[in-house]
């Protein structure tokens, strides 16, 4: 579901953006919050049912920006789950993140990644994509 369709969720997201999400992304990417534009935010539900376990390897938003991924569920309520970054030009190691409830993973959207499949219970995440023209100058994006 789209966060913008639910006023209470949108209010929560706007507050979190101001208090934590934007300051964190500013520090991580060396950008000013005013240079970032929240393009899309949605909630995803994964379960152990085949076809609902997670996303295969992909890039977000055509690699145009920055992605954040907040775990909404308590990790004790689902099995499996997490976000996986296969080896890329910068590292030979696969990296897997399995955050606690409320923790945020943020990354350049053009980095290839996938869900670690959920194998039981329900895993809810909030995923948002931000864009910024400055990412090009910083060398994250192709010209
Ligand atoms: O399951 C995950 O943590 C990955 C979610 C994701 O990459 C996305 O929604 O774009
Ligand atoms: Fe993604």
Residues with pLDDT less than 50, the chain: none
Decide if 83 contacts 127 (C-beta within 8 A): no
Could you tell me if the ipTM is greater than 0.95?
A: yes
The Å distance, Cα 58 to ligand 2 centre, comes to 6
Query: What does the pLDDT read at residue 139?
Result: 78
Q: In this structure, which ligand is nearest to the CA of 124?
A: 1
H or E segment to which residue 83 belongs: strand 83-85
Instruction: Please identify, by atom number, the ligand 1 atom nearest to the C-alpha of residue 127.
Output: 9
Query: What does the pLDDT read at residue 141?
Result: 67
Burial class (CB in 10 A: 0-12, 13-18, 19+), 5: exposed
Query: What does the pLDDT read at residue 108?
Result: 92
Query: What does the pLDDT read at residue 136?
Result: 76
Phi/psi for 56 (5° steps) reads -75, 180
Residue nearest to atom 2 of ligand 1 (CA): 115
Query: What does the pLDDT read at residue 42?
Result: 97
H or E segment to which residue 105 belongs: strand 104-108
Q: What's the CATH class of domain 3-133? A: mainly beta
Ligand 1: residue of 48, 53, 105, 114 to mutate (most ligand atoms within 8 A of CB) is 114
Query: What does the pLDDT read at residue 142?
Result: 58
């Amino acid at each position: 579901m789209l966060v913008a369709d639910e006023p209470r969720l949108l209010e929560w997201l706007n507050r979190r953006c101001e208090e934590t999400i934007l300051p964190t992304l500013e520090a991580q990417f060396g950008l000013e919050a005013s240079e970032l534009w929240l393009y899309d935010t949605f909630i995803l539900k994964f379960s152990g049912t085949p076809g609902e376990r997670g996303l295969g390897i992909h890039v977000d938003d055509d690699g145009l920006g920055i992605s954040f991924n907040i775990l909404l569920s308590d990790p004790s309520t689902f099995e499996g789950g997490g976000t996986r970054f296969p080896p890329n030009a910068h590292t030979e190691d696969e990296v897997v993140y399995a955050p606690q409830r409320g923790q945020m993973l943020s990354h350049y959207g053009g980095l290839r990644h996938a869900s670690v499949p959920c194998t039981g219970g329900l895993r809810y995440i909030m995923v948002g994509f931000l864009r910024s023209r400055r990412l090009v100058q910083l060398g994250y994006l192709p010209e």
